[in-house]
Structure 1
Amino acid sequence: MATIKDIAQEAGVSLATVSRVINNGPKVGDATRKRVKQIMLEMGYRPNANARALVTQRSASFGIVLPELSDPFFATMAHGIESVTRKIDVQILMSTGSIEKATELKAIETLLEHRCNAMVVHSKALDDATLINFAKTIPGFVLINRYIEEIGNRCVWLDNIAGGQTMARHMLNQGHTKFVIVSSKYQIDDPVDRIAGIKQELAENGITLSPDMIEYSTPDQEGGEIAMQNFLAKGTEFTAVLAYNDAMASGAMTMLQDHNIDVPNEVSVIGYDDVLLAKYCRPKLTTLRYPIEMMAVKATELALQYAAGTVPEADCTFKYAPTIVKRESVGKAIS
């Protein structure tokens, strides 16, 4: 494998000149820069990113911490981040946290070992104090899908309470009064806040949601099927299903249809996220659009700004709101 010394010898220039070319430094003529780059290409030379970072004092990599890779929601988030980093020739290093404290901590530490001084972190298991400390020590540390007041300027987050209110309000406007919730079993802020929003909206309309009207399961299609199966087995009466996400909504609809219950003529179902799956359910899923790609772009830009020493104004807020996408899975309540 060619070394920087080989490149310098072949080009007839000093090691310092080759180093300046690699790091886009000054004091190199256009002709020399072009010749050195051509020789690097011909000899198959690839700069060492870590060594380059030591010279430039910035990482050539941008870090991402995701809960998992298989969920389309997080794939969309990663795509939003990559749409920004590819424009500035920065490579992405990705690590997964699995919504477990130790794994999330290791994921962030791994990115630090690779000299990532800018990163977007999706953390649900780590405590506030640990994340605040990371924000103080990592120049470009930004949280996505979580809000911590002490580092609010580094948080890009969604108002899930408002999302829960919007879901319930849409069903109420269709005349529904008998509700069930299919929610995630993970004790994180998102499902808690969405249920709080739903309960608040229902209470304002004189409806109390009892605990047995909520089923918790894994936030995927199988979890939605299991939760709905439990409602059917208990003989629960309902005409409206509010699901934690589109995957659970899809699973719930499948179970209803397997029991010859028509959606939306007998039971209406609403999801959350508006991932690609929502468009291809049958019936097509009414859902709340989670602007995750837009949020990911903002989080990436913010992380890069912080890493470069640019700090937003103290009163800046990066709160987003979900919006309803009306399709075919919600209909008028049975009279």
Structure 2
Amino acid sequence: MATIKDVARQAGVSVATVSRVINGSPLTKSDTADLVKRTMRELGYRPNAAARTLVSKRSRAIGVVVADVSDPFFGSLVKHVDTIAHRQGHHLLIGNGYHEAAREKQAIESLIQNQVASLIVHSKALDDDTLRAFSEEHGAIVFINRLIPGLEGRCIFLDNYRGAFLATEHLIEQGHRYVAYIGSSHPIEDTVQRQQGYEDALNTYRVTDKTHPVMMAFDTPDETGGERAMAKLMADNPNLSAVFCYNDIMAAGAMTALTDRDFRVPEDVSVVGFDDSLIARYLHPKLTSVRYPIEEMAALAAEQAIAVSSQQPMRDEKGNYTPTLIKRNSVAKPNE
């Protein structure tokens, strides 16, 4: 007897697509639905009652794919999606992708197979074509922290380059000439964009030369990574007076490395983070940081995804956000 997997294999589609056709989902293209129905007839496949009730059981579910829900940044993203979802009578199913293409693909496919009504995807490892294919397969997908050509209306993202430029510019304007960058070792576009913003700010203000070189160190984007990267920078660059960090958590690790070596922040070394997460307000000194408005972005993503899944018009609101610099107490003029 033919199974749903046999139908999917013969038709060249996913099991989730066959399930949606069985349940009459409006998110499946008509030509794809016709192909699946024809294949079911050819194979003599008869869906059972359990398969027919699958969509109704998941029709109020929102799937959310993030890198790692234990990371405070992604925890905040999920929390604010959940707030909107709860308000509109939906519930969440969560998948972790860990910035790995295979894991991200697996997480998305798993949520689609669980018949979520809509999807919010934070993907950095999968290529644009793969994400476009998922968008065609499941019509109610919204991408966050990603700009995909051709899907601009489904993308909500921040100008990472601009944020990094602002952070580095602020340190230069305070008089710093030995400005370092601590970046993430993850091979994702955020890392490239923030590094480029840092380098371009140095070049714009003509800070770099033989006596004021570009100083960078890369490690895991967490406290330990920030601590290791800062230790390496200090060992290699004794004149360093300021550092811009990939995120606030790495900045916290960098500050620990500095204070453990009897350097004062900001009197000896100024520090700027990125995200303006909760930790920025509770470090000592309070951390100057580039604000990443993840609360607003996550809420918009949830509202847009629910609207699409309900066949309602999306909010007429642009998904591109501009970063701002939140000045606190971790930056001072350099010692002369």
TM-score tier, shorter chain, comes to 0.7 to 0.9
Residues of 2 paired with 1:211 and 1:191: CA distance? 20
Q: How does 1:1-335 map to 2 (within 5 A)?
A: 54=55, 59-208=59-208, 213-310=215-312, 312=314, 317-335=318-336
Look up the match of 2:14.
Answer: none
The alpha carbon displacement at 1:49 in A equals: 11
The alpha carbon displacement at 1:119 in A equals: 0.8
3-state SS of the aligned residue for 2:94?
A: strand
Structure 1 unaligned residues grouped into runs of 5+? 1-47
Question: Does the Cα contact within 8 Å between 1:158 and 1:321 map onto a contact in 2?
Answer: yes
Residues of 2 paired with 1:175 and 1:266: CA distance? 13
Question: Against the structure 1 CA distance between its residues 212 and 305, is the aligned structure 2 distance closer, same or farther, given a 3 Å change threshold?
Answer: same
Residues of 1 paired with 2:55 and 2:77: CA distance? 30
Question: Does the Cα contact within 8 Å between 1:49 and 1:60 map onto a contact in 2?
Answer: no
**Structure 1 residues 2-52: Cα deviation after superposition (integer angstroms, max 9, x where no partner):** xxxxxxxxxxxxxxxxxxxxxxxxxxxxxxxxxxxxxxxxxxxxxx99865
Residues of 2 paired with 1:171 and 1:324: CA distance? 11
Give the letter for the 1:166 counterpart.
Answer: L
3-state SS of the aligned residue for 1:94?
A: strand
3-state SS of the aligned residue for 1:149?
A: coil
Question: Does the Cα contact within 8 Å between 2:199 and 2:214 map onto a contact in 1?
Answer: no
Question: Against the structure 1 CA distance between its residues 53 and 85, is the aligned structure 2 distance closer, same or farther, given a 3 Å change threshold?
Answer: farther
Give the letter for the 1:259 counterpart.
Answer: R
* Sequence identity percentage: 39
The alpha carbon displacement at 1:96 in A equals: 0.6
Question: Against the structure 1 CA distance between its residues 208 and 106, is the aligned structure 2 distance closer, same or farther, given a 3 Å change threshold?
Answer: same
Residues of 1 paired with 2:69 and 2:147: CA distance? 22
**Structure 1 residues 127-184: Cα deviation after superposition (integer angstroms, max 9, x where no partner):** 1100011111212101101111111111000000110111011112211111110110
Question: Does the Cα contact within 8 Å between 1:64 and 1:121 map onto a contact in 2?
Answer: yes
Residues of 2 paired with 1:168 and 1:212: CA distance? 12
Question: Does the Cα contact within 8 Å between 1:145 and 1:156 map onto a contact in 2?
Answer: yes
The alpha carbon displacement at 1:312 in A equals: 4.9
Question: Does the Cα contact within 8 Å between 1:221 and 1:251 map onto a contact in 2?
Answer: yes
Question: Against the structure 1 CA distance between its residues 136 and 194, is the aligned structure 2 distance closer, same or farther, given a 3 Å change threshold?
Answer: same
Residues of 1 paired with 2:326 and 2:192: CA distance? 22
Question: Does the Cα contact within 8 Å between 1:117 and 1:141 map onto a contact in 2?
Answer: no
Give the letter for the 1:323 counterpart.
Answer: T
Look up the match of 1:19.
Answer: none
Give the letter for the 1:98 counterpart.
Answer: Y
Residues of 2 paired with 1:275 and 1:235: CA distance? 28
Question: Does the Cα contact within 8 Å between 1:153 and 1:312 map onto a contact in 2?
Answer: no
Question: Does the Cα contact within 8 Å between 1:263 and 1:330 map onto a contact in 2?
Answer: yes
Give the letter for the 1:303 counterpart.
Answer: A
Give the letter for the 1:178 counterpart.
Answer: Y
Give the letter for the 1:261 counterpart.
Answer: F
- TM-score normalized by the length of structure 1: 0.81
Question: Does the Cα contact within 8 Å between 1:181 and 1:214 map onto a contact in 2?
Answer: yes
Give the letter for the 2:225 counterpart.
Answer: G
The alpha carbon displacement at 1:318 in A equals: 0.7
Give the letter for the 1:237 counterpart.
Answer: N
3-state SS of the aligned residue for 1:242?
A: strand
Look up the match of 1:41.
Answer: none
Question: Against the structure 1 CA distance between its residues 49 and 207, is the aligned structure 2 distance closer, same or farther, given a 3 Å change threshold?
Answer: farther
Structure 2 unaligned residues grouped into runs of 5+? 1-48
**Structure 1 residues 194-247: Cα deviation after superposition (integer angstroms, max 9, x where no partner):** 111121122111123888611000000100110011112224421110000001
**Structure 1 residues 101-122: Cα deviation after superposition (integer angstroms, max 9, x where no partner):** 1110010011011101301001
Give the letter for the 1:63 counterpart.
Answer: G
